[in-house]
Amino acid sequence: MEVSCLWSLIIVYIFRICRVHALLPIPIISLEDKIKINEETKVTCLLPSSECQCLEVELRIITEEKLKNCVSHKGNFSNVTCTLEVTKDMHEVELSCEAHFRTKSKPQRLNIQTEPEFTDCPNKLVWIEGEENSFHCKARGFPPPSVVCVKDSIVYMEGEKFTTLKNMSGDFRCRASNFDAVSKTVTVSVQYEPRISLIIVQPSDSVSEGENVTLICDADAIPPPSYSWHTPTTQLLYDHDNRTIQIKDVKRAHDGFYICIAQNKHGIQMLKQKITVHEPEIVPEVDLGKLTGRNGAEKMEPALFGLLAVLLHSSFYYLF
């Protein structure tokens, strides 16, 4: 029984080998029709079928004679062509062609689990308000890690496009995770053009001649803006950064509009403030002589008698 089984296995094996060989194409040797002595002739070994492209094939021309200038072609209808220098002694020399087939599996990659690691994630980013941006924080590891950046509970996926807002300035926590996790801090600075909220006027925008006035231009911008002014007159005092101007001893020439200009590399904004200058109030002088003359005394007598009556009445009230 064991012998019978052994023979059965041998027969199956031989059958498979024969079946495989029966499916493989047989190469063909190709010679030129007219071959002359002392001339070169081409000898070609050709695989006549393209059905075995999945197999790697090597073609060889077999002969005892010396071949040269052999050129191989792979792909559909693989072949190899060589040159033979013909001599008289080569009559009826045999040439044959062999095909050597090799098969191999499709490649498989060896994947090893590795924890995430940031490969390209800058510590600081500078964005401009209104422009489109995204986080480019690359991380390696297997399985490939996912990367997100979070600030104020708002989550941004790596590579996700968004419009930059002013309030995005600050620290983001970027996290790369697969079966493990790693994180880092990315500081974002958002730059924007100047915005002038107001021009502060001290003490007031309506003053009298001879008073002092201070104007302060209040602008918000990153990077910080430079300041300049358009004014009705040049009789002004500027501080070191031109943000504040002072008017000493206000004149009528100072009346008018004061325009503050704030500018950085992202833009420019202007705001104007009106200063109104009045003539100083004139206080009339009091003529003391009129108050001490006869007419003045006559006017003061009723008032004095009334005051005296009140004092006497109060005295009697406390006595009784």
Predicted local distance difference test score (pLDDT) of residue 240: 92
126 with 89, same domain? no
Closest CA to 77 of 33, 19, 25: 25
Q: CA 283 to CA 263: how far, in whole Å? A: 47
Domain boundary among 137, 168, 192: 192
Domain boundary among 41, 68, 102: 102
- Is position 309 within any domain? no
- Is position 259 within any domain? yes
CATH number for the domain that contains residue 65: 2.60.40
Predicted local distance difference test score (pLDDT) of residue 75: 72
Structure tokens at 283: 């206080």
What is the span of the domain harbouring residue 58? 28-102
- Is position 319 within any domain? no
Over residues 190-240, the pLDDT tens digits come to: 999 999 999 999 999 999 999 999 999 999 999 999 999 999 998 899 999
Record the pTM: 0.57
Asked if residues 196 and 218 have their Cβ atoms less than 8 Å apart, the reply is yes
Domain boundary among 162, 192, 222: 192
At 77, is the secondary structure helix, strand, or coil? Answer: coil
- Is position 96 within any domain? yes
Over residues 31-49, the pLDDT tens digits come to: 888 888 888 888 888 877 6
Predicted local distance difference test score (pLDDT) of residue 17: 43
198 with 269, same domain? yes
Structure tokens at 40: 């070169």
Predicted local distance difference test score (pLDDT) of residue 228: 96
- Is position 23 within any domain? no
Residue 223, preceding peptide bond in cis (omega within 30° of 0): yes
Residue numbers in the chain where pLDDT is lower than 70 = 1-23, 49-55, 103, 282-320
128 with 90, same domain? no
200 with 268, same domain? yes
- Is position 315 within any domain? no
Q: CA 257 to CA 134: how far, in whole Å? A: 44
What is the percentage of the chain residues whose pLDDT exceeds 90?
52
CATH number for the domain that contains residue 118: 2.60.40.10
44 with 95, same domain? yes
- Is position 109 within any domain? no
Predicted local distance difference test score (pLDDT) of residue 76: 72
Per the structure, the count of domains in the chain is 3
- Is position 307 within any domain? no
Predicted local distance difference test score (pLDDT) of residue 309: 52
Contacts of 266 (CB under 8 A, 6+ apart): 128, 129, 191, 192, 193, 221
